[in-house]
Amino acid sequence: MKRSESDRLFEHAQTVIPGGVNSPVRAFRSVGLKPLFITKAQGAYIHDADGNAYLDYVGSWGPMILGHAHPAVVEAVRQAAGKGLSYGAPTEAEILLAEKVISAYPSVEMIRMVNSGTEATMSAVRVARAYTGRDKIIKFTGHYHGHADYLLVKAGSGATTLGIPNSAGVPQSFSEHTLLCEFNDFDTIIQITQEEYPGEIACIILEPFAGNMGFVPPVQDFLKKLRALCDREGIILIFDEVMTGFRVAKGGAQEVFSVIPDMTTFGKIIGGGMPVGAYGGKKEIMSMVAPLGSVYQAGTLSGNPLAMAAGLATLNELFKPGMYDELARTTGRLTEGIRTIAQKTGTPMTVDHCGSMFGFFFSGSPIHSYEQALACDTARFNRFFAKMLEEEIYLAPSAFEAGFVSLAHTTEDIDKTLSAFENILRFMAY
Ligand code: PLP
């Protein structure tokens, strides 16, 4: 497979951009390869600078649930662009997108648009601290909430992939209020909230399905127990649904588990591929945000008209009848197929999905924690990843990322993927 043009661009990029990329995990370092430079994307496929077309399971890390360059979204953006790129003043589209999100998330009574998931989680935590008058927060190891200083502690995604779970440049004092717990380990949470820091915790923030240490669902009743604990202790429960929102179900993880958080953060899908994030929750809590309340949070480009247009067009398509059933069916075909192939080839693997978010580990036992995720066979994943790329199937370049299926993925696409899986796993058989 020709990669010379991507390699040339990568050489060039490294002279002006740190590591040649604008977000670390894109560099393919953890899989020991060089990144592909993309020239266009259409439907379920992305095309690189050497003219190769790959079946894409990254979907820009989540937003592209309709597939790339969906005509309705492209047209909406085109029309918006013709009316001006940014006003820095309110528009009706902002109300429409806010209402659209609220309609699917009963826990969200008011919502504020920002420009990224990072801004959304950072702002939600600020509001939770202001509302409770407490400083300490709980996050889970391996969960990623963007790159705010105090949230980059034992974070997943690129921070895990590159082996830098704690970033340099973050003063110790900035993260001293961040307390760490293991996902799915309720006993430690009880100990920290009730024995070590009673009355001091402002919020618990988590990915309700972890997606940044691979795909790791919560164990039975974990979220329900968290909800009850937060009620007892006056702690704000924040579901970071930047990845899972409109992905695992229309109403996100909170719909799947019937657990109502106090606050929710969004990103990815609600921007349809444009830079958007949002945070919302109960009216009483969101009334803390300026100019209504005393929590300052602002943005030159927040609620940008092109971004609102892309988000609205995306949700309009997604809300059409049958879309989530189709996504779950296609993704189920993929994960069932992988499970069967793993058995047939004697490969120790665990695989799971919810809606159109999926993941697999080269591990014989189920994964519930960050520690267990880190213990999976990453060397095997890296060899597997390289072979899949040769078959023109584009998975996330790390053993610690979730995968995404879009409405543009056809049954034939899934079967083509499964056949590549089978050939490669046979070749790599134990
Ligand atoms: N929260 C979660 C759960 C995420 O997966 C991400 C990004 O992948 C973020 C927050 C940060 O979002 P962004 O990259 O838009 O800043």
Predicted pLDDT at 301? 98
Pocket of ligand 1 (CB under 6 A): 61, 116-118, 121, 144-146, 157, 207, 211-212, 240, 242-243, 267, 277
Distance in Å, CA 243 to ligand 1 centroid: 7
Question: How many residues comprise the chain?
Answer: 430
Distance in Å, CA 240 to ligand 1 centroid: 9
Residue with CA closest to ligand 1 atom 5: 243
Closest CA to 411 of 327, 350, 341: 327
Predicted pLDDT at 166? 74
> Rounded to two decimals, what is the model's pTM?
0.97
Residue with CA closest to ligand 1 atom 12: 117
pLDDT tens-digit map of 353-408:
999 999 999 999 999 999 999 999 999 999 999 999 999 999 999 999 999 999 99
Q: What amino acid positions are annotated as catalytic residues?
A: 144, 240, 268
Q: 394 pairs with which residues across the strands?
A: 56
Enter the ipTM: 0.99
Contact criterion met (CB below 8 Å) for 113 and 303: yes
Residue with CA closest to ligand 1 atom 7: 146
Distance in Å, CA 323 to ligand 1 centroid: 24
Q: Would strands 350-354 and 53-56 be described as parallel, antiparallel, or unpaired?
A: unpaired
Query: Average pLDDT per run of 10 along the chain, which is 430 residues long?
Result: 97 98 95 97 98 98 98 98 98 98 98 98 98 97 94 74 69 90 95 95 98 97 98 98 98 98 98 98 98 98 98 98 98 98 96 98 96 95 97 97 98 98 88
Cβ contacts of 132 within 8 Å, gap of 6 or more: 202, 203, 234, 235, 236
What is the phi-psi region of residue 82: left when phi exceeds 0, alpha when psi lies from -120 to 50, beta otherwise?
alpha
Predicted pLDDT at 237? 98
